């Protein structure tokens, strides 16, 4: 069993050369022949290529995945040579990702236009028809510079998090959570709105606090509000504030949560439960950055980063007419999906150890670890309440423990078959095997020889299954 580790996010060190992913390049031009020529030139160099023929397609691609560089034309409409479309696209690209190296192309030999593009943030320019070696050299340089800048920003974010007093602690060793932490590392230092989705108890607020701690706003306000728990009658007052006399109980002016979070981060929990009638009011503030307190016509501007969380599938809610699609677009510039605990069982030992280290001193109990059978019970449990349920189970076990180690009885868990939410007939053969192996290992207190004999397997056969199912 590995020891507990605090992982703010994967380190920003460059990977060994053998493991460096191929650079992904976005090519944008309205002429199919140009795109094909560029693809044929760049593909043999090992680049992953994606093409777009319009500004809208470029923005859609950037919203879907990360690129190492973009090579974009400055004209898209037929018979247009002004470059206005391209300059507008350049501004929108950099608003999405200011670190992305953008190289512009112009077919008209307009040096003035290229200079203007560079003044607005482009890294370099290419004139059509291009020289192959010059184009390859420019792209290679920009990819390397861009990756170096991203690594540096991640290192700075990591250092900031390590220095932050009272910073949140994310504990993870599983592959599923490493992917989450990588996203957190990428978007934390930005101002992008983030939507965190996941079941109850998966740690959505902890991830939101980590995003705030990584951001340039970390020294400013952190304001959290359970939007799903606000009655319709008080929704506007809570979020936007009100003035004296606006309604019966308005005895004095009140500042809303948006204004309280000025310069900082506003966390909207359970945002999927906001009534449809109130969603338009929330959308207006997110779009314009402006609000009026209830009962007032005065407009206030607010500078707030919004991080929201939900256990509702908002795409399904949109399809059902229960959630506005335009509001969803405003909330989830980036979405972070937190896996349930049953999908990250490798983290159970370190999480349990973390909670044990918290509760044993609090309750002055000399408890130092878990009996093997107790740990197997933790690994076998289905955890419908996720990390919150695990925390409560460990707290109860510390209170109930009579010795130096926690026993299975101290945990008070229901048998895995009773606690699970899936029926046997609803499981795949692989899932059934995993449950059977878990239950048998728990029954024999982690003794591989006895469990293998009960299952009719050799020790090596059981070890292979334990490895395959990551138990």
| Segment 52-78 mean pLDDT | 86
**Whether residue 194 has pLDDT greater than 60:** yes
pLDDT score of 424: 58
Equal CATH topology for 17-151 and 175-337: yes
| Segment 429-450 mean pLDDT | 76
What's the pLDDT band for 361 if we cut at 50, 70, 90? very high
Domain 17-151 top-level CATH class:
alpha beta
pLDDT score of 18: 36
What's the pLDDT band for 363 if we cut at 50, 70, 90? very high
**Whether residue 163 has pLDDT greater than 90:** no
Position of tokens 């510039």?
333
Separation CA 467–CA 470 (nearest Å): 5
Q: Where are the domains of the chain?
A: 17-151, 175-337, 343-468
Q: In terms of Cα–Cα distance, which of 286, 283, 290 is closest to 323?
A: 283
pLDDT score of 253: 73
pLDDT tens for each residue of 397-428: 999 999 899 999 999 886 544 444 455 555 67
pLDDT tens for each residue of 254-300: 788 998 899 999 999 999 988 888 899 999 999 998 888 888 777 88
pLDDT score of 10: 37
pLDDT tens for each residue of 142-161: 999 888 877 776 565 545 54
What's the pLDDT band for 167 if we cut at 50, 70, 90? low
Cα four-point dihedral sign 32, 35, 39, 41: positive
pLDDT score of 109: 58
Fold of 175-337: Rossmann fold (3.40.50)
**Whether residue 391 has pLDDT greater than 80:** yes
pLDDT score of 1: 33
As its CATH architecture, domain 343-468 has: Orthogonal Bundle (1.10)
- Average the pLDDT over each of 97-106, 130-139, 202-211, 224-233 and give the range with the smallest value: 224-233
| Segment 72-76 mean pLDDT | 88
Q: In terms of Cα–Cα distance, which of 89, 113, 112 is closest to 102?
A: 89
> Which residues have a Cβ under 8 Å from the Cβ of 191 and sit 6 or more positions away?
215, 216, 217, 305
Q: For the chain, give me the number of helices (H) and strands (E)?
A: 20, 16
What's the pLDDT band for 60 if we cut at 50, 70, 90? confident
């Amino acid at each position: 069993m590995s020891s507990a580790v605090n992982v703010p996010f994967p380190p920003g060190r460059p990977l060994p050369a053998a493991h460096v992913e191929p650079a992904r390049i976005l090519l944008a031009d309205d002429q199919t022949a140009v795109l094909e020529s560029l693809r044929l030139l760049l593909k043999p160099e090992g680049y992953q290529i994606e093409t777009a023929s319009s500004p809208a397609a470029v923005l859609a691609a950037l919203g879907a995945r990360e690129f190492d560089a973009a090579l974009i034309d400055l004209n898209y409409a037929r018979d247009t040579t002004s470059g206005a479309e391209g300059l507008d696209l350049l501004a929108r690209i950099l608003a999405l990702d200011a670190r992305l190296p953008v190289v512009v192309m112009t077919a008209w030999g307009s040096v003035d236009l290229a200079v203007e593009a560079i003044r607005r943030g482009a890294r370099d320019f290419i004139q059509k028809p291009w020289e192959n070696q010059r184009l390859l050299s420019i792209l290679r340089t920009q990819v390397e510079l861009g990756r170096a800048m991203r690594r540096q920003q991640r290192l700075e974010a990591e250092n900031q998090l390590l220095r932050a007093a009272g910073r949140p602690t994310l504990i993870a060793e599983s592959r599923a959570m490493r992917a989450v932490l990588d996203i957190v590392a990428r978007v934390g230092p930005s101002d992008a709105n983030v939507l965190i989705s996941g079941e109850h108890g998966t740690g959505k607020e902890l991830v939101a606090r980590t995003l705030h701690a990584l951001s340039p706003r970390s020294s400013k306000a952190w304001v959290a509000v359970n939007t799903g728990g606000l009655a319709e009658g008080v929704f506007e007052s809570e979020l936007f504030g009100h003035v004296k006399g606006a309604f019966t109980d308005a005895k004095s002016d009140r500042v809303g949560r948006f204004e309280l979070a000025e310069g900082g981060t506003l966390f909207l929990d359970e945002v999927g439960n906001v009534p449809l009638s109130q969603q338009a009011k929330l959308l207006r503030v997110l779009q314009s950055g402006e609000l009026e307190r209830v009962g007032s016509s005065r407009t206030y501007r607010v500078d707030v980063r919004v991080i929201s969380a939900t256990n509702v599938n908002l795409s399904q809610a949109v399809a059902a007419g229960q959630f506005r699609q335009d509001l969803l677009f405003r909330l989830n510039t980036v979405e972070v999906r937190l896996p349930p605990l049953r999908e990250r069982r490798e983290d159970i030992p370190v999480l349990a150890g973390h909670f044990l280290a918290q509760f044993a001193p609090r309750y002055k109990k000399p408890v130092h670890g878990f009996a093997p059978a107790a740990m197997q019970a933790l690994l076998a449990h289905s955890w419908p309440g996720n990390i919150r349920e695990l925390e409560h189970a460990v707290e109860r076990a510390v209170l109930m423990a009579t010795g130096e180690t926690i026993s299975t009885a101290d945990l008070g868990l229901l048998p895995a078959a009773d606690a699970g939410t899936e029926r046997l007939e609803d499981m795949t053969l692989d899932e059934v095997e995993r449950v059977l192996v878990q239950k048998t290992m728990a029954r024999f207190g982690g003794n591989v020889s006895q469990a293998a004999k009960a299952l009719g397997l050799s020790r090596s056969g059981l070890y292979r299954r334990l490895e395959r199912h990551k138990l």
